[in-house]
Homo-oligomer: A and B are copies of this chain.
Amino acid sequence: MPSPEAVKPMVGTTVMVAPKHLGGFAEACLEKLGFPPEDASILADRWVWAARRGKPTHSVIRLVQVAAAVREARVKPKVDWSPVRQRGGTTLLDARDGYGVIAGARGMRLAVEGARQHGNGVTVIRNCDNTGALGMFPGIAIAEGMIGMAITNSNPIMGGWGGARPLIGNQAWSMGAPAGKNPPLLLDMHLAAGSLGTRRESAASGTPMPPGIAADSRGVPTTDGKAALDGFMLPMAGYGGWGIAVMWELLTGVLSGGMFLEDVGAHGKPQSERVSLFTMALDPTAFMSAAEFDARVDELIDRIHASPTAPGFDHVRVPGETGGEHWNRHEQTVPVAQADLDRLKPLAAELGVALPLG
């Protein structure tokens, strides 16, 4: 039973790069692509975060996509980030087809400022393209000693409960909190019962999928990958997962004044995805001292780790543990696949930026 947050081992040659070199490279490329220095720095910082957490697919390799999206005018590199509305710790932003990772990071920074002053802060953002790995945003709160939460809506891939067509997105979300001696807690998940790849693999191989993952074009649950490709994914935990998906749609697309349900675009299409993001920060020091909070989170983690295990398990894991261990091992240098550098080479040459070489 693998945990869904497992860090995938990198295949092929890996180059070890200092975080500041990797970030500097990304920042320089982004500026050449027309991003203002502050936004280039914000995005590069999140990509370095992803590399250090063991999520290379959400790191600098995304430059290739971003460059294409900017050139196709799907993503706007220059965005007026002035709040649409603000009350206390609460802010509404319109990303105006800006890149979602920048939008979410700016949103969480505002939420953290709000939390510092008012105990908690919420930023809701509409019209974002590509929100990346959702853990990137609580990661910002954690670095400031706060609890963070982020939710995105996305293009419909799941059916409603008893529905016959894709109606709602995978609704990725993440929540995290700092700890003391342990790596921070960081949950990063989506709401579909399985990954989209399961359908494709089953359709290609003819091997049935496990039950409860997908439905056919009439909305009837199926284990046949081919039938499922014409249908949709089912929510995890049945009606419960569907219910959470609806509430996440409310906190994102509805509350942001942006797109919801079928109006949300798909990734990789000519138009911006126009997803919405909900980001929240909660300051533990509104409740107790930072030292006491860190100690209590450590106690929670330590007691879970010390609890007896079932056959085949060496300990009970907590959310974010694998990524946290990767983070701790890669303070000085982060692994970048040579294959990713090869893919980035033409863009780097074109923009006149030297590839990072460790």
| Residues of chain A having any CB pair with chain B under 8 Å | 1, 3-5, 85, 87-90, 92, 114, 117-122, 124, 147, 159-165, 167, 175, 177, 185, 187, 189, 193, 215, 218-220, 236-241, 243-244, 246-247, 249-251, 254-257, 260-262, 280, 282-284, 286-288, 292-293, 296-297, 300, 303-304, 307-313, 315-319
Contacts and interface: CB of A to CB of B under 8 A. Distances in A.
Contact of A218 (B238, B282, B284, B310): B310
Nearest to A231: B310
Contacts of A167: 304, 307, 316
B1 A255 contact: no
A88 B239 contact: no
Given A4-B239, A163-B304, A246-B300, 8 more contacts: A85-B288, A87-B286, A88-B88, A90-B283, A218-B310, A236-B237, A237-B237, A249-B300
A230 B307 CA distance: 17
How many monomers of this chain does the complex have? Answer: 2
Contact of A246 (B124, B247, B257, B318): B318
B117 A120 contact: no
A251 B167 CA distance: 31
A89 B120 contact: yes
Contacts of A260: 300
A4 B316 contact: no
A308 B164 contact: yes
A262 B303 CA distance: 10
